[in-house]
Amino acid sequence: MFLNHFEYFAPKTPAETLELVACLGSKAKILAGGTDLMVVMKAKAISPDYLIDINGVEEFKGIFCEQGKGAVIGTNTKLAEIQFSEAIQAKYPALAYAAGEVGSSQVRQMASLGGNSCNASPAAETPTPLVAMDAKVVLSSILGERELPLEEFILGVRVLDLAEGEMLTKFVLPEPKLKSACRYAYMGRRDAMEIDCVNMAVTIELEDDGEKVKNIKLVMGSVYPRPLVSKEVTALLVGQKLSDQLIEKAAEAAQGEAKPIDDIRASAEYRREIVKVLARRLIKEAYTDAKGV
């Protein structure tokens, strides 16, 4: 249960951090909250030679949320801050809710939003709603920055589209569209300290008539190596006025797309069953909310 011997750096500025990331490359790991990193290091699943502790870098923390301009969230913003942020609760309630469902209160005080994505666990809570709301990640290096959708950043279990010398520095969330709503739900055995057996987020945007679906994005977590964006639900529901039958059909479509596995937490069969239930409930909920009823 002991960590391997590593060299520890605690930079104070983004420039120092990026310099270290450039020099040390993949031999280094970024230490933000450490709630996942320390666990895998203790289990000897990884043994990095260097740790770069970014907790001293103020620029990596904080929520910048302006009316009409979406939001920018620093990579090392603690999940508890997101959970309790009034601005996030008002504009991105699904994200605030998902952040509040990670681990325990103690974990959320430590864990960061960036870490929850960079750990690239299929069961992670926050990537699901972030993908559903079209969040982008900003990847920085000493050479500059690039931006890409979160769903293209997380490639698989513990696999990221991160080049040597790059690190995730912030999330960019677009302003929610008019007549739209995003909702998140999860299923697990208990309501705290839980690793979800399925989680899901749905964003629905309506046409000006307030009835027909202009756009819908359903994202599933824990049923695929990375957040899985349903193609079929979008194809089925765009341009439609939703009915119970149509929602049921969409839920079954999502169920068909999910590729869950059997593990200690749940069987694949049960997970598929839950995908349908959550999809049905979330589409209804998001639709109702988007309509503003």
Partner 1 sequence: MEKKVLKSKWNLTPEGWNLEGVPSSQDEKRYTQVGRSVPRIDGPIKVKGEAIYTGDMTLPGMVYGKIKRSTYAHAIIKKIDCCKALKLPGVLAVLTGDEAPNKWGIVPQAANETVLAVGKVRFYGEGVAAVAALDEETAEAALELIEVEYEPLPVLLDPFQSMERSQEVLIHEDSKGNIMHAGEQVYGDVDKAFAECEYVLEREFHTNYPQHGFLEPHSALASYDTQNGQLHLWASSQIPHYLHRQMSIVLEIPMNKIRVTLPTIGGGFGGKGEAAPSEFVACLLSRKVGRPVKVVYDRQEVFYTNKGRHPCHMKVKMGLDKDGYIQAVDFDNTLDKGAYSGWGIVVLFYTASMIHLPYKVPNARFRGRSVYTNKPSTGAMRGLGGVQPRWALECLMDEMAEMMGISPYELKLKNAIESGHTCINNMFVPHSEFKKCLETAVKKSGFLEKQGKLPFGKGIGMAGGYYITGTAYTLYQNYKPHTTVMIRVDTEGGVTLLCAAAEIGQGCNTVMAQMVAEELGIQYEDVHVQSGDTEIGAFDLGSFASRLTYAAGAAIKMACVEINQSLKETAAGMLGVRADQLVIKNHEIYSMYEIKKRISWEKAIEVYTSINGTLVGMGNFSPPRRKGIDIISGNRVQGANIGHSPTFGFSSQVHEVEVDVETGRIYVKKVTEAGDCGTPVNPMCVDGQVEGSIMFNIGACLYEDQKLDASGKHLNPNFHDYKTPTTMEMPEMDTNIVESYDHSAPFGVKETGEGAVQPTFPALTNAIYDAIGVRFYTLPITPEMVLKALKDKKEGEL
Closer residue to partner 1 in complex, CB, 19/248: 248
For partner 1 (CB under 8 A), the number of binding residues is 18
Give the CA dihedral 217, 220, 221, 226, nearest 10 degrees: -80
Choices 64-72, 88-96, 207-215, 271-279 (CB under 8 A): range interacting with partner 1: 271-279
Closer residue to partner 1 in complex, CB, 178/264: 264
Footprint of partner 1 on 195-224 (CB under 8 A): 195
Choices 65-73, 169-177, 227-235, 268-276 (CB under 8 A): range interacting with partner 1: 268-276
| Interaction between residue 277 and partner 1 (CB under 8 A) | yes
Q: In this chain, which of 69, 189, 231, 259 binds partner 1, going by CB under 8 A?
A: 189
Shortest distance, position 121 Cβ to partner 1, whole Å: 12
Shortest distance, position 206 Cβ to partner 1, whole Å: 26
CA atoms of 55 and 57, how far apart (whole Å): 6
DSSP readout, 13-81? Answer: SHHHHHHHHHHHGGGEEEESS-TTHHHHHHTTS---SEEEE-TT-GGG--EEE-TTS-EEEETT-BHHH
Q: In this chain, which of 130, 187, 213, 218 binds partner 1, going by CB under 8 A?
A: 187
| Interaction between residue 259 and partner 1 (CB under 8 A) | no
Closer residue to partner 1 in complex, CB, 173/266: 266
Choices 92-100, 118-126, 175-183, 185-193 (CB under 8 A): range interacting with partner 1: 185-193
CA atoms of 200 and 242, how far apart (whole Å): 19
Shortest distance, position 285 Cβ to partner 1, whole Å: 14
Closer residue to partner 1 in complex, CB, 37/206: 37
Residue 9 to residues 37, 57, 187, 235, Cα–Cα distance (Å): 15, 12, 39, 49
Side by side, the strands of the sheet bearing 71-74 are: 63-65, 71-74, 167-173, 136-141, 144-149
Closer residue to partner 1 in complex, CB, 22/277: 277
Angle formed by the axes of helices 268-291 and 244-257, to 10°? 140
Amino acid at 284: K
Phi, psi angles (nearest 5°) of residue 231: -90, -40
Indicate the helix (H) or strand (E) that contains 129.
helix 127-132
Closer residue to partner 1 in complex, CB, 264/293: 264
CA atoms of 256 and 273, how far apart (whole Å): 10
Q: In this chain, which of 14, 270, 284, 285 binds partner 1, going by CB under 8 A?
A: 270
CA atoms of 199 and 271, how far apart (whole Å): 10
Query: What residue ranges bind partner 1 (CB under 8 A)?
Result: 1-2, 187, 189-195, 264-267, 270, 273-274, 277
